[in-house]
Amino acid sequence: MKLNALFISLFSILIVYPDCGYSKDIFLQSHEANYLGFTYDGIKSSDKVKKDGPYIDYQVSIKHPICHDCENQFYLAFTHRGAFYALPSEKKRSSSPVVGKKYVFQPVFFRRGNSYEYTDIRLTHESNGQSIDDSASYDDFRILHQTENNDADFARKFISRGWNYPEIEFQRKFGSSKLYWNANFKFLQIENSPEEYNAWEGGEGKARKETDGVLLGLKYNRNGSWLKKANFFYNTGISGFSKNNTYSAELVFRTFKKLTIDIMFRCRKGYNSDLIDYYMDIDSCTVAVVSKTDRDEPLF
């Protein structure tokens, strides 16, 4: 967690001291989608651990340029995704907690190109911000939930996950059309001791590199239409390519001009629904309001 604190401190310096020898038009920019909505996760009956019912799903994602008017840009980037368990569920809880699902810190983020056609090289730290990393702590947490008349399986939400890896992403346009192809490669196999599945969790686990690392996408961006975006992705492991596959589709619809939000529908089938259950084959759907601010546009 020391790395998390250091990264947030760097962001604070850039925000509080915007001059830094540069022009005033340096600003925080949107990175990944910023949204608030509802997600429902289902799970195949062959898996031993069941998922929760619907939950409030949110994500905040920003980046800050380090260099002004540079052809090859450098950034600091941060993404946080969380879940608010305030909706009715089959699993009993005595409270409605907010649980961190994903924290992504990219202290080195290099880009050549623009928002639509680019090459990114990133050094990434990805974790869920939780603390349980051994069987004794996990058993104690399960007992604690039971004594509070909660479902003991909710203790899974607090198992620690974490990875450090370089990644590279490309995006290019198909000729003069509004179609783009996208490819992302996470080099998960180079880390010796990632915080991932442990045998004491139960079920049949996999290494993250078996379910993630290669992402291929097709994107359609349309200006001036009620359908703003249509994105389709194929995700598989960088180790054992095409063995454990994930398919996802995302549609973004425009709203009224005076509103600052659009409507997003997203469905996915496969792995990596969140960092805790990355190795489980899960179907999920999300309905959310998403910021109209596109990637790389100023937030304020």
Instruction: Judge whether 55 lies within some domain.
Output: yes
Domain contains 221: yes
Tens digits of per-residue pLDDT, 59-84? 999 988 887 666 678 889 999 999 88
- Of 270, 128, 271, 138, nearest to 208 (Cα)? 271
State percent of the chain over pLDDT 70. 80
Q: Which residues are registered as beta bridge partners of 201? A: none
Q: Identify whether 100 is part of a domain.
A: yes
**Per-residue model confidence (pLDDT) at position 87:** 66
296 found inside a domain: no
Q: What pLDDT, in 10s, does the model give residues 170-187?
A: 999 988 788 999 999 999
d(Cα 135, Cα 207) in Å, to the nearest integer?
A: 18
What does the mean pLDDT of the chain come to?
83
| Domain of 158, in residue numbers | 2-291
- Give the model confidence (pLDDT) of 235-249 as tens digits: 999 999 999 999 999
Q: Place 222 in a pLDDT band, splitting at 50, 70 and 90.
A: confident
In this prediction, residue 20 carries a pLDDT of 40
pLDDT score recorded for residue 85: 80
Residue 300 lies in a domain: no
Residue 299 is assigned to a structural domain of this protein = no
The confidence band for 98, taking pLDDT boundaries of 50, 70 and 90, is confident
Res 23 pLDDT > 50: no
Q: How confident is the model at residue 6 (pLDDT cuts 50, 70, 90)?
A: very low
Please report, for the domain that includes residue 32, its CATH number. Answer: 2.40.230.10
Residue 18 clears pLDDT 50, i.e. is over it: no
Q: Where in 136-177 does DSSP place strands (E)?
A: 162-173
Work out the average pLDDT over 31-38. 93
Residue 297 domain flag: no
Average pLDDT on 108-114 reads: 81
Handedness of CA 160, 161, 165, 171 (dihedral sign): negative
Q: Could you write out the DSSP letters of every residue in 28-84? A: -EE-S--EEEEEEE---TTSSSPPP--EEEEEEEEEEESSSS-SEEEEEEEEEEEEE
- What is the reported pLDDT for 202? 85
pLDDT at 57 over 90: yes
User: What global pTM score does this model have?
Assistant: 0.84
| The total number of structural domains that make up the chain | 1
Mean pLDDT, residues 122-128 taken together:
94
